[in-house]
Structure 1
Amino acid sequence: MRELLSELRDWHAAGTPFALATVVAVRGSAPRGPGSAMAVTAAGAVAGSVSGGCVESDVYETATEALGTGRTQLRTYGISDDEAFGVGLTCGGTIEVLVQPCVTAEDRALLRELADTVTSGEPVALATVVSPAASAGRHRMVLAGRVSGSLGDEGLDAAVTDDARGLLAQGATAGIRYGPHGERRMEEVTVFVQTFAPAPRMLVFGAIDHAAATARIGAFLGYRVTVCDARPAFATRERFPTADEVVCAWPHTYLETTPVDARTVVCVLTHDPRFDVPLLAAALRTPAAYIGVMGSRRTHADRTARLREAGVDEAALDRLASPVGLDLGARTPEETAVSIAAEIIQHRWGGTGRPLGELTGTIHHAPEPWSRPA
């Protein structure tokens, strides 16, 4: 839903009623994951998508109906065939979509507050009752130090607030079942908790032409991109207009002083031992999700030998993705950037990197739709 928030804020400012449809559960293969959203105004304007086109027409009609009745609905879409659903998915999975009218000033104000909070970069979670129908659509917004809204019961509010903060720490979204007053061992109330953590970081070291292409595709994928190089003539804003930051500093010095978490990806494109060895030694001490390193196989062999001499062990060296990228036959900087991005996506979601036409089984890799935080 993150991509919709700016438009929803504009609709709120104009006093425009709208209905919001959100994917709250996915089972099996589905085009889009939990949290995907589509909004429809009374005038028929549409923003966003819940399935990439499979069920949008029916969701549109349901949203229009919700605007007229003021009632929240939970719709289930499965396989599209004559024996199952008249409207459904072609990929074999099942999704549940919560369609809720946002017609009151209170509803729209909460979404406006959510949009402002996400824009500011402050981590926030939005908890929404999915079932039972009598309380579906109630919201509670949870931040590190404050809350807004209520799910209708003090005990439920407290339990959901606790779990939402746990999910925020993980950067995870989940559906959780409770008793009517927040009891942990009961499953009468289902609450969908969607988290909006700040964008993950992509740190690109080496201000070369490949770095410019990698920065562009990193921004396209939703990363907050930083390009770092020690050479003032190369580390300039003019050369990297799509990067969020361009830093002129020794790479290892910058890396040791900037935040790196388990969602951060590091792309080392310098292939110069003066930069690479101290930079990679520092990178391997961080929890970064991915550390890709450019260079030939001979360069990588020399690099790993130097890192061993610097005291880096084999388990740490195994974290390096080098030569960087998937084997796509890339030649140009732009093609190489696509190769790097493909490897980052594969690493994140556990894909094989092989052509889908050569494989059988589920296309989309996804966690179980409903989970309870430990």
Structure 2
Amino acid sequence: MNKLIQAILTQLKAGQDVEFVTVLDSNGPTPRGAGAHMLINASGYLCGTIGGGKIEESSKQVALEALQAHKSTIEQFKLVPSDLGMMCGGNSQVLFTFLDHQDGLTLQVFEALQQALTAHHAVWLQQVYEDESVTLGVAGTAVLGQKIETSYLTQKPHLLQEKGSATATFVEPISHASRVFIFGAGHLAQAIVPVLKRLDFYTQVYDDRVPLLTTERFPDADELHEFDLDASFELTDVDYVLLMTRSHELDYQLQAKLLQTPALFIGGIGSKHKHRVHRVRLLKAGFTEAEVDRVQMPVGLAIDAESPAEIAISIAAEMIQVRAGLD
């Protein structure tokens, strides 16, 4: 999303109008779901994707026509062989938002989104479509444009549209405030940080071995911290924890400490035997069954992963699954 918003700002500041393409809704096995984006200018495609194939090619044409007419529009695409020549079925509803470089509010909106992404603050974008135009709104650390109902400020996109209505309101999170606390700066941490970075997870790596905490080893990490077990970790209910230290005892101590936080996800590497041992210790320490069940160990989807790269993929996949289940 960072790249797309930067492209929008570059175009607007250069005096160029653009069409901001957004998948509002989909059902069936469509290529991309709600919140997928693409950007089109007068020269054609700029960046982003709403799924590729003929649906994307058709959307590029619609976007160019809307751009030339200085208008916004909504189109329905039926993904069947007789329509777009695609083997997958289902329907997609796509919004084409005309962004006028002369509109000061539009520039302010996307500058606010970029600032929130850079600062890792939660922010939401609202697009309200009516009569071939879109009204924008932002909620989060900055509040701009049309007001957004607080009930829509969740981790998933919301589409509000009555059946048969020509108007539609779409609210989506652009930047999440969630963080991934990675304890241990070994080979697995090195493998998983770049994977999570490309999935828009914000990563913080902790270790007591300071020489390992370098930007050369972790060029994609958002933060690097020397570890101190006595320090307090202020986790929220949208944060993730990955325990992969070099010590089973340290992993246990961290589990006991972090179970006292509202962290959304706590995962640890290790065998099922290690998990059983830690579970017994945690129960004896006074934690309830429900509390201990919060720890996912061994973390990662069961894909027979062996190498650090493979394990990183399995862990990232489980985290995607957790994130997708929010709200």
Task: Place the TM-score, normalised by the shorter chain, in its bin.
Answer: 0.7 to 0.9
Alpha-carbon distance in 2 for matches of 1:89, 1:327: 32
RMSD of aligned alpha carbons: 2.6
Q: Compared with structure 1, are the counterparts of its residues 196 and 2 closer, same or farther at alpha carbon in structure 2 (3 Å cutoff)?
A: same
Query: Are positions 1:257 and 2:233 aligned together?
Result: yes
CA shift, 1:195, in A, is: 2.3
Query: Are 2:155 and 1:171 aligned?
Result: yes
1:139 corresponds to which of 132, 136, 139: 136
Contact 1:67 / 1:103 at 8 angstroms: preserved in 2? no
Separation (CA, whole Å) in 2 of partners of 1:46 and 1:88 = 24
Partner of 1:97: 94
1:181 alignment partner in structure 2:
none
Extract unaligned runs of 5+ from structure 2: none
CA–CA distance in structure 2, aligned partners of residues 11 and 145 of structure 1 = 22
Distance change (3 Å), C-alpha of 1:276 and 1:93: same
Instruction: Indicate whether 1:282 and 2:228 are aligned.
Output: no
1: CA distance, partners of 2:54 / 2:218? 38
Aligned equivalent of 1:321: 296
Contact 2:66 2:96 in 1 (8 A): yes
Q: Distance in 2 between matches of 1:279 and 1:61?
A: 54
User: Is 1:341 aligned to residue 316 of structure 2?
Assistant: yes
**Is the contact made by 1:21 and 1:99 (CA closer than 8 Å) also made in structure 2?**
yes
Deviations 1:144-198 (A, max 9, x none): 56333x4xxxxxxxxxx251x3333x233211248xxxxxxxx784211122233
Alignment of 1:107-122 (within 5 A): 108-118=106-116, 119-122=118-121
Spell out, residue by residue over 1:309-351, the C-alpha distance to the aligned partner (whole angstroms, 9 max, x if none).
222221112122112222322222112211211222234446x
Amino acid at match of 1:102: L
- SS of the residue corresponding to residue 66 of structure 2 reads helix
TM-score normalised by L of structure 1: 0.78
Letter paired with 1:35: G
Distance 2:69 2:60 in 1: 14
Q: Does 1:70 align with 2:48?
A: no
Could you tell me which of 187, 203, 220 is aligned with 1:242? Answer: 220
Alignment of 1:186-335 (within 5 A): 189-198=167-176, 200-250=178-228, 252-254=229-231, 256-258=232-234, 260-270=235-245, 272-335=247-310
Q: Distance in 2 between matches of 1:121 and 1:348?
A: 17
Give the structure with the larger strand fraction.
2
State the partner residue of 1:4.
Answer: 4
Q: Distance in 1 between matches of 2:171 and 2:230?
A: 38
User: Which amino acid counterpart does residue 113 of structure 1 have in structure 2?
Assistant: E
Q: 1:39 to 1:225 in 2, by over 3 A?
A: same
Partner of residue 46, structure 2:
46
Task: Provide the secondary structure at the position in 1 that maps to 2:10.
Answer: helix
**For the Cα contact (< 8 Å) 1:55–1:88, is it kept in 2?**
no
* Gap regions ≥5 residues in structure 1: 151-160, 179-186, 351-365, 368-374
**Other-structure match for 1:124:** 123
Q: Output the amino acid matched with 1:211.
A: A
Q: Aligned partners of 1:238, 1:221: CA distance in 2, in Å?
A: 21
Cα distance in structure 1, aligned partners of 2:40 and 2:7: 11
| Contact 1:199–1:223 (Cα < 8 Å) also in 2 | no
Is this contact kept in 2: 1:117–1:124, CA < 8 A? no
8 Å contact kept, 1:18–1:101: yes
Distance 1:191 1:213, change over 3 A: same
Relative to structure 1, the CA distance from residue 202 to residue 315 in structure 2 (aligned partners, 3 Å threshold; closer, same or farther) is: same
Displacement of 1:234 after TM fit? 3.4
SS at match of 2:310: helix
Distance 1:263 1:230, change over 3 A: same
Verify the 8 A CA contact 1:271 1:294 in the aligned structure 2: no
Aligned partners of 1:282 and 1:345: how far apart in 2? Answer: 24
Q: SS of the residue aligned with 1:327?
A: coil
Please give the secondary structure, in 2, of the residue aligned with 1:60: helix
Secondary structure at the aligned position of 1:221 is classed as: coil
Runs of 4+ in 1 over 4 A off after TM superposition: none
Alpha-carbon distance, 1:89 to partner: 5.4
